Amino acid sequence: MSMPALKTDAASTALPVTAAPVVTMTPKRAPQSEKYAKMAKEAAVRVVPPLIVVAFLLVVWELICRRAGSTLPPPSRVFSDTKELIFDPFFDHGGIDKGLFWHLSASLQRVAYGYSLAAIIGVALGTLVGQSVWAMRGLDPLFQVLRTIPPLAWLPLSLAAFRDGHPSAIFVIFITSVWPIIINTAVGIRNIPQDYRNVAAVVQLNPLEFFAKIMIPAAAPYMFTGLRIGIGLSWLAIVAAEMLIGGVGIGFFIWDAWNSSHISEIILALFYVGIIGFVLDRLIAGVAKIVTRGTAVN
Amino acid sequence: MQAYLKLDHIDKIFTRGNATTEVLKDINLTIEKGEYVSIIGHSGCGKSTLLNIVAGLTGATHGGVLLENREVNSPGPDRAVVFQNHSLLPWLTVYENVKLGVDKVFSKTKTRAERDAWVMHNLNLVQMAHAKDKRPNEISGGMKQRVGIARALAMEPKVLLLDEPFGALDALTRAHLQDSVMALHQKLGNTILMITHDVDEAVLLSDRIVMMTNGPSARIGEVLEVPLARPRKRLELATNSGYLKCRQRVLEFLYERHRFVEAA
């Protein structure tokens, strides 16, 4: 029985082998530089259009804000005003008079704590709600109401509870980003195909093995959708929360700049906030791509 | 002869709200060790439900399943299933998919190296060892089903349950895989219970064909012995009178006496 299969396999592979040298010769003759040129072309296609748009917008901005009496500084002034902050992000004169690096890292730390907590608790609660009908009936209405509360509305309550700005900020991050993680995880768990459950039943996986080997990988694409929305929301919330809490952090840096009328500094800070938000999003997307390889396509 | 697998007065009633549907009615069947039994019937007659009851994935409303005189009512590796749509876990490689079952079943009786060798042995049986590091979405439908068979075989089941294992495959791949299953049955002597709706497949592979009447309340209408010597050769059987007679019997049952009444 197996013999015909092997024979046909050999026959079908034999054909391309004879044809192969002819095929491979052509690309080899092509100079290496052609390959680089192609890569450069691909990069240019991605990079050039946004560069043109950015340059165009900068020119428009410059033209609009150049006039005397303009309320906002033009890009050239922003650059000259904030040169010091751009080129020396690491200075530390004590108190809150620090370089942007320290402000950003303080904010990122808060996000890291709050978001990690949200990820762990969100996945755990999402699993519970996805797995148990009664947990869903009991908890889902609660989640649907709580998730609509704006992040900053939690801040006074958490300040009252914790009596300190730092844990309050972390709590706000947590409470903002936990909902999409819970809801998406629950959907992912509920959508695990019956086939996989049957396989687990036949193999007799215990609940713990089922959780680790079937549930988490099967629900991973959904979980990461939630985690990605969550990181975006937590970065949104931290800036607002820090404005009110004070201390070191990019949010308070912006607020402080506003109070001292350093509009250029605000613009620089916004630029950094945007870039970091983008990087965080890409980071989670990258992790998702590695973790869910194979799962998404079925 | 002692019954190896016994389906004893199985009824299955599904209840949805107020509506109750009797799917299976008084199913009695005994299967001997090493026997290859097919269950054939029109779609919707409850044959997959019956297989799920034997597998323990669904409970019977009345009656039960006895394997070596002991009742079985929950799923387990002693009744490994090859699912219709292969059901390989897409995030595991071919090797890891087979290993999942092997690790559970032989966690105490085999060392790590022995388990590894056992996985490879079973992949070799279905000629899939070359693709051990591939993921399911990188191999063809027929190959996936081969891996599904290897996963089930590797658990050393007492009964191998095949749920329309070739249903989703094209005709050529199907024939190829049927030959493989026949060869495996010949070599390993497994007891096999297969669900099918393909008459030729049933006659070619089985020792006995169980024909089910149409649902609701499907019963076993007729059991046909297939008195053909093994190993069987597809081409030779095409003109074999015994083969044709069996084929005729099943066709008559399905298309004359128990015509599928709803629009097909």
Could you report the per-residue pLDDT of B42-73, keeping only the tens digit for each?
Answer: 887 888 899 999 999 988 899 889 999 889 88
**Partners of B163 in beta bridges:** B195
Residue A213 to residue B75, Cβ atoms within 8 A: no
Give the helix/strand (H/E) hosting B228: none
User: What per-residue confidence (pLDDT) applies to B260?
Assistant: 61
**Per-residue tokens: A222:** 């959904």
Q: Mean pLDDT across the stretch A187-191?
A: 93
Torsion angle defined by CA atoms of residues B230, B231, B236 and B239, in that order, rounded to the nearest 10 degrees: 20
User: What per-residue confidence (pLDDT) applies to A5?
Assistant: 45
Strands B62-67 and B70-72: antiparallel
Alpha-carbon distance of A109 to A248, in angstroms, equals 11
What secondary structure letter does DSSP report for B78? G
Residue B183 to residue A2, Cβ atoms within 8 A: yes
Nearest partner of A225 among A185, A192, A186, judged by Cα = A185
Q: B5 vs chain A: nearest CA distance in angstroms? A: 17
User: What per-residue confidence (pLDDT) applies to A295?
Assistant: 60
A254-286 b/e (C-beta count within 10 Å ≥ 16 → b): bbbbeeeebbbbbbbbeebbeebbeebeeebee
Residue A202 to residue B85, Cβ atoms within 8 A: no
Residues of B in contact with A196 (CB under 8 A): 87, 89
Selected residue with higher pLDDT from A297 and A193: A193
From edge to edge, which strands make up the β-sheet containing B81-82? B81-82, B159-163, B191-196, B36-40, B208-212, B220-225
Residue B180 to residue A292, Cβ atoms within 8 A: no
**Partners of B16 in beta bridges:** B19
Which tens digit of pLDDT belongs to each residue from A76-125? Answer: 888 888 888 888 888 888 777 888 899 999 999 999 999 999 999 999 99
Query: Contact, B128 vs B146, CB < 8 A?
Result: yes
Residue B22 has pLDDT above 90, yes or no: no
Query: Contact, B38 vs B196, CB < 8 A?
Result: yes
Dihedral sign, CA of A143, A145, A150, A156? Answer: negative
CA A179 to chain centre: 16
Nearest partner of A106 among A238, A284, A279, judged by Cα = A238
User: What per-residue confidence (pLDDT) applies to A28?
Assistant: 54
Which tens digit of pLDDT belongs to each residue from B220-253? Answer: 888 999 988 888 888 888 888 999 999 999 999 9
Q: A42 vs chain B: nearest CA distance in angstroms? A: 28
Q: What is the CA radius of gyration of chain B?
A: 19
Report how far apart the first and last C-alpha atoms of chain B are (Å, whole number).
Answer: 41
Residue B63: φ, ψ to 5°:
75, -175
Q: What is the CA radius of gyration of chain A?
A: 27
CA B11 to chain centre: 20
Q: B137 vs chain A: nearest CA distance in angstroms? A: 6
Those residues with Cβ within 8 angstroms of residue A140's Cβ, 6 or more apart along the chain or in another chain? A129, A186
Q: Kindly identify which residue of chain B lies nearest to residue A201, measuring between CA atoms.
A: B75
Q: Kindly identify which residue of chain B lies nearest to residue A295, measuring between CA atoms.
A: B91
Residue A202 to residue B81, Cβ atoms within 8 A: yes
Helices (H) and strands (E) in chain B, counts: 8, 10
Residue B91 to residue A293, Cβ atoms within 8 A: yes
Torsion angle defined by CA atoms of residues B138, B142, B145 and B151, in that order, rounded to the nearest 10 degrees: -70
Query: Contact, B58 vs B81, CB < 8 A?
Result: no
Residue B90 to residue A213, Cβ atoms within 8 A: no
Q: B258 vs chain A: nearest CA distance in angstroms? A: 31
Instruction: Select from B55, B85, B91 the Cβ nearest to the Cβ of A295.
Output: B91
**Per-residue tokens: A290:** 């590695």
Which residue type sits at B235? L
Nearest partner of A186 among A211, A222, A158, A161, judged by Cα = A222
**Predicted ipTM beyond 0.90:** no
**Partners of B30 in beta bridges:** B6
Q: B89 vs chain A: nearest CA distance in angstroms? A: 7
**Per-residue tokens: A44:** 């240019």
Residue B100 to residue A295, Cβ atoms within 8 A: no
Alpha-carbon distance of A81 to A85, in angstroms, equals 9
**Burial, A195: exposed, middle or buried (Cβ in 10 Å; 0-12, 13-18, 19+)?**
middle
Which tens digit of pLDDT belongs to each residue from B186-198? Answer: 888 889 999 998 8
Query: Residue for token digits 């090493």?
Result: B34
User: What per-residue confidence (pLDDT) applies to A99?
Assistant: 86
What secondary structure letter does DSSP report for A193? -
A interface residues, B as partner, C-beta within 8 Å? 1-2, 5, 193, 195-196, 198-199, 201-205, 209, 213-214, 217-218, 220, 292-295, 297-298
Residues of A in contact with B108 (CB under 8 A): none
Alpha-carbon distance of B193 to B202, in angstroms, equals 11
> What is the pLDDT confidence band of residue A271, given thresholds at 50, 70 and 90?
very high
pTM: 0.77
